[in-house]
Structure 1
Amino acid sequence: MENSEQVLQLLAEAKVIAQRYYALTKKPLGITGEVAEYEAARLLGVTLASARQAGYDATELVAGKPRTLQIKGRCLPNGCTPGQRLGSIQPDKEWDAVLMVLLDSTF
C-alpha cells in the first residue's frame, strides 16, 4: 500500500474514533488540525511542509511562484453555536496567506 493510501486509511480510522469520542464525552479528540492539513493537500493540491515548520503548514505555486500557507482547521458539529474560534495566526512568522478549512461533524 502506498504511503498516501496508508495515511488516508489511518485518517479514516481516526475520524471514526474521534466521532465516537465526541459522542461519548462532548469533547473533541484533538485531530482537527491534522485532518484539515491533509484534506487541504488532498482536495486543493497544496504541498504539506515538514512537521514543526515555523510559520507555515503548506506551500502552493501561484503564477509560478511559491506561496506559503498557514492552515487553520475547525470542526463544526451539528448544532454548534456561532462564534467558534480558529487557532491563532502567527503574525511574527514567515507566511503569505491563511487557509481556513471547515469540517463537519464527520470531519
Structure 2
Amino acid sequence: MVSVYALEKLIAETRRLATEFRRTTGQMLPVTGEIARFDAARELDLELLEPRVPGVDAIGKDSRKDRRYQIKGRVIQDEGKAGYRIGQMNPNGDWTHVALVLLDGDFEAFKIYEADRDEILTALSRSSGKRSKRGAMSVAKFEAIGQLVWTRENGLEDEVWSNY
C-alpha cells in the first residue's frame, strides 16, 4: 500500500505531467478521474474504496458517514465557456451521492459540488436526448441541482450553498 505522502507526491507529479502534455500536444491525458478521486477524498474526508466497487468510488466519514460516493471530475479551462459535460454516471451502482470535482487548466481542484442520488436521477429522467439516457449531464446542470461543498479559497463551506 502506498503511503498518503507518497500518493500526494505522485498526484502532484501527475498534475504537472498532464498540464505539460496538454500544453505541448493540445490533448488531454486520461488522468482527470484519478486526480478527482484523490482530491474529493482529501478535501471531503472520504475513504477511497480499494478494491473498487462498481458505481462507488468512496465512502463518507464523520459528517458524511453512511454516504457512498461516485466521484466525477472535469477540467474547466474557460469558466465562461458553456457546454462542459460530465462523464457517464452508473445509475445501477450502490451509490447515494455524486461528488463533482472541477479542476482548472493545471489540474488543480477549485470547486467540489455534491448531489444526492434522487436529485441526479430526477434530473436525468427530466432531460431529453441520448446523453441523459446514458447517465451523462452538463456541468451547469450538476451545479444547478447540487450543492457547493468545497472551494479552493475557503475549503469546506460552513454553510452549504444550494442552487434551488
For residues 1-31 of structure 1, the C-alpha deviation after alignment (integer angstroms, 9 at most, x for no partner) is x711101111111111101100011111111
Alignment partner of 1:36 is 2:36? yes
Equivalent residue letter for 2:85: R
Matched residue, 2:123:
none
Cα separation, 2, equivalents of 1:64 and 1:27: 36
Contact preservation (8 Å) 2:55, 2:90: yes
- Answer yes or no: is 1:86 the counterpart of 2:79: no
State the alpha-carbon separation in 1 of the partners of residues 64 and 16 from structure 2: 38
Figure out how many residues of one structure are paired with residues of the other and give that number. Answer: 106
In the alignment, which residue of structure 2 is the partner of 1:56?
56
Deviation, 1:82, is 1.2
Distance 1:47 1:23 in 2: 32
Identity of aligned residues (%): 35
TM-score (norm: length of structure 1): 0.88
The alignment's C-alpha RMSD in Å is 2.0
* Alignment pair present for 1:71 and 2:71: yes
Displacement over 6 Å in runs of 4+: none
The amino acid across from 1:101 in the alignment is V
Change (3 A) 1:21 1:67: same
The structure showing larger relative contact order (alpha-carbon pairs under 8 Å, at least 6 residues apart) is 1
Give 2:47's aligned residue: 47
